[in-house]
Structure 1
Amino acid sequence: MNEAGVLENAGTGGAGGRPPGVDPVVRHLYVHVPFCPTICPYCDFHVLTRRAGLVEAYLARLDEEAAELARTYAVDLDTVYVGGGTPSFLRDNEIRALSETVQRHLGWGRAENTLEINPGTVSPARAGLWQALGFDRASVGVQSLDDATLRFLGRQHDAQQARDAVRTLVGTGFRVSGDLITAVPGQPLDADIAGLVELGVGHVSAYTLTIEPGTEFARRGVTVHEDDERAGFERTEEQLGALGFGRYEISNYARPGQGSQHNLAYWQGRTYLGLGPGAAGHYPAPARSGLLTTRRTNPHLHDWLKGEAGETVPIDPTEYVTDALFMGLRLRDGLDLEDLSRRSGLDVAAHYAAVIERNVRRGLLEQDGQQLRATPQGWWVLNRVVTEFLEV
């Protein structure tokens, strides 16, 4: 190690001078479908309702962008995730065109191919079509199994539609993940959790209701109390744990072998392609650029349709490490500091020794050899912990 804390010769391995742990091949793909039947009052994603000709223009530009990505990067996909928006809101011929575009230019995931699904769009025939197109995992936006809660959240489906949708997808052979929103006023959380598990899901994503600036909820002055947020955070883990689901990430629970392989790529700091308007991607940097990776976010739909470039952020070794710490500490198992040092070329344990030691003393982090993880108390204040790494 030299005086700057960089491992000697770390930059001489791998392709084009990258540290040997930075894979020059991209193995994950996110596709953004921005169309929704309505905009939920808590949503701050890039979404819009469809208008005549807009989906057709989107699909044509998607084909062009997929070809550009294939020409630019070495791609060998393990996972594909089609999210939104409401991808299942696309008509049958449209979702077929999307999947054919992806497979023609970029291939298909060997390990996992996920489609985000709104319960109101599911039928046995459509589930069979999605499976025939190559999707094997369904992420269903259930949010609640209580009609009053769903009305408050502005959802267009009711509880019975959600139950029917999950049963149909499980019966078709999908691995199903159900989304829940917690800390909603009056929500019967225990019943929501138990009911969702009874339907046969193998994975649950439980997110606290968050009021983002610019959303309808923000304009209406809706608030979420910290006590309700923490109670939902703790009760979700308690009940899902009793039902056989392990918490493997702050907001995600799974039966053994049912964790999201695609989302693990994000949390483990891997590279991935971003396809579609508003999509974010994490890409290998050009050889000999002095960078490890770049992050790029595509512009919103109308600028994206014109082929305008998105925002690109160069990632050097220090930024790569702090990004990896922020994401990796979300995982129950944390991250391997030795592996992160190999990927980044920075001696992570030495460079951040004081921060790690200080937060271990506080009970916010725990270290077992090279494995660093956040404690349950540390998860609750993770942003504050990561800020200390950023200040080194």
Structure 2
Amino acid sequence: MVEPAVNSEAGHSAGVDPVVRHLYIHVPFCPTICPYCDFHVLTRRAGLVEAYLARLEEEAAQLAGRYAVDLDTVYIGGGTPSFLRDAEIRTLAETVQRHLGWGRAENTLEINPGTVSPDRAGLWQALGFDRASVGVQSLDDATLRFLGRQHDAQQAREAVSTLVNTGFRVSGDLITAVPGQPLDDDIARLVELGVGHVSAYTLTIEPGTEFARRGVTVHEDDERLGFERTEERLSVLGFERYEISNYARPGQRSQHNLAYWQGRTYLGLGPGAAGHYPAGQEAVPDGSGASLLTLRRTNPHLHDWLQREAGDTVPVDATEYVTDALFMGLRLREGLNLEALSRRSGLDVSSRYSEVIRRNVGRGLLEHDGRWLRATPQGWWVLNRVVTEFLEG
């Protein structure tokens, strides 16, 4: 993506693009709650989806009136967006298009394999979706049962094949480090179905989940094996690891997720949705709006969101913007351009963090060519520790 031009006007958002080009919409409804899930999700009840859609339209109109919006990407996630009925997903898509527009580059729908049919795939495509992110997780029935998934391997295969044949660019999610999982087979079978993108996430046991209550654990050796083996197998099959957990064939990278990793601004629409907004001259709780680069907002959960309660707003100054950008940008294989980050933030990043960079280059965890900073494979494995040094530096 092209770096935005520097705006030196006093009080404006420095080099941060004042136009928002990305939109995330959260659909919180799921048919069941998976035992590893800690997202804001719930099962549907009478009248709840109707109330959600009405409030979504109101919020979309508010965002359209508040920000300059020219969308490159739209991503509808959850929850299970494809769990919405046909009339409901049509209403949602038309609401977004009416108030905020539609992405020129990419429009993604998250899909549960059990919700796919040829007719539904055709409807989603007709509504303007061109990319499908499918929660496959595994193509082994025993692994799927352990993960509490409601679909089986055959349903997953049929769903991916249907979406590929309909003309979607398809990304398949895999969960790794599951006890007894045939990971090599999962990878090979998924690729054989024609996906152009794979997101591979280590099973993580989050507090408050069913897995945590049951005492399920993930061993570090299994985590490391999954981390390394996934890249080995996918690279042989023609996929590039372009981000810690994401692999793509040429031309198949997720443009929406790249916006997150590159520190771009984006709208967050729906309950629990997070957004990253240009600050402009907005007033924030500490009254320091004129000195800010961006604002991060997180909407409240469904009940409070329906009642129009305010969410959390976090002002982001130049230093916080840079550390956020380092945390996200170092997840990318190519890393991040420190000159461009300096232009956007107004800070001389290379000079400010020269000692942290020098120390971690010496440890073999970072590479720095004077312009670009990137993590090595060893650095990816301990990235949280590396970023902590930037926060402390």
- Compute the TM-score of the two structures, normalised by the length of structure 1: 0.96
Partner residue in 2 for 1:293 = 294
Q: Say yes or no: does 1:311 pair with 2:343.
A: no
Q: Of the candidates 214, 226, 232, which is equivalent to residue 220 of structure 1?
A: 214
SS of 1:29 mapped into structure 2 = strand
Q: Which runs of 5+ in 1 are unaligned?
A: 1-9
Paired amino acid for 1:331: L
Paired amino acid for 1:199: L
Q: Deviations over 1:232-264 (max 9, x none)?
A: 000000000000000000000000010000000
Q: Say yes or no: does 1:99 pair with 2:78.
A: no
Cα displacement (A) at 1:369:
2.5
Runs of at least 4 residues of structure 1 off by over 6 A?
none
Cα displacement (A) at 1:286:
2.5
Paired amino acid for 1:377: Q
Gap change, CA 1:27 and 1:15, over 3 Å in 2? farther
Counterpart-to-counterpart distance in 2, 1:123 and 1:18: 46
Q: Of the candidates 239, 242, 266, which is equivalent to residue 233 of structure 2?
A: 239
Partner residue in 2 for 1:88 = 82
Partner residue in 2 for 1:144 = 138
SS of 2:62 mapped into structure 1 = helix
Paired amino acid for 1:25: V
Gap change, CA 1:51 and 1:238, over 3 Å in 2? same
More displaced 10-residue stretch of structure 1: 73-82 or 283-292: 283-292
Counterpart contact for 2:11–2:291, Cα < 8 Å? no
SS of 1:383 mapped into structure 2 = helix
Counterpart contact for 1:14–1:22, Cα < 8 Å? no
Cα displacement (A) at 1:15:
8.2
Partner residue in 2 for 1:382 = 383
Partner residue in 1 for 2:326 = 325
Counterpart contact for 1:11–1:345, Cα < 8 Å? no
Partner residue in 1 for 2:247 = 253
Counterpart-to-counterpart distance in 1, 2:43 and 2:172: 24
Q: Which runs of 5+ in 2 are unaligned?
A: 282-288
Q: Residues 1-392 of structure 1 correspond to what in structure 2 (within 5 A)? A: 13=8, 16-19=11-14, 21-287=15-281, 289-392=290-393
Paired amino acid for 1:281: G
Aligned pair count reads: 382
Paired amino acid for 2:246: N
Gap change, CA 1:137 and 1:14, over 3 Å in 2? farther
Q: Percent identity, aligned pairs only?
A: 86
Cα displacement (A) at 1:18:
2.5
SS of 1:36 mapped into structure 2 = coil
SS of 2:291 mapped into structure 1 = coil
SS of 1:142 mapped into structure 2 = strand
Counterpart-to-counterpart distance in 2, 1:106 and 1:334: 31
Counterpart contact for 2:138–2:153, Cα < 8 Å? yes
Counterpart-to-counterpart distance in 1, 2:67 and 2:293: 14
Gap change, CA 1:14 and 1:109, over 3 Å in 2? farther
Q: Deviations over 1:247-291 (max 9, x none)?
A: 000000000010000000000000000000000000000236100
Counterpart contact for 2:36–2:209, Cα < 8 Å? yes
Counterpart contact for 1:11–1:17, Cα < 8 Å? no
Counterpart-to-counterpart distance in 2, 1:169 and 1:368: 42
Counterpart contact for 2:21–2:265, Cα < 8 Å? yes
Counterpart contact for 1:183–1:224, Cα < 8 Å? yes
Counterpart-to-counterpart distance in 1, 2:290 and 2:48: 38
Counterpart-to-counterpart distance in 2, 1:187 and 1:95: 34
Counterpart-to-counterpart distance in 1, 2:379 and 2:62: 42
Cα displacement (A) at 1:17:
2.8
Cα displacement (A) at 1:16:
4.9
Counterpart-to-counterpart distance in 1, 2:244 and 2:7: 36
Counterpart-to-counterpart distance in 1, 2:215 and 2:293: 42
Counterpart-to-counterpart distance in 1, 2:99 and 2:262: 26
Counterpart-to-counterpart distance in 1, 2:384 and 2:191: 30
Please report the RMSD computed on the Cα atoms of aligned residues, expressed in angstroms. Answer: 1.1
- Compute the TM-score of the two structures, normalised by the length of structure 2: 0.96
SS of 1:289 mapped into structure 2 = helix
Counterpart-to-counterpart distance in 1, 2:35 and 2:290: 43
Counterpart-to-counterpart distance in 2, 1:231 and 1:136: 33
Gap change, CA 1:378 and 1:96, over 3 Å in 2? same
Counterpart contact for 1:334–1:374, Cα < 8 Å? yes
Cα displacement (A) at 1:368:
1.6
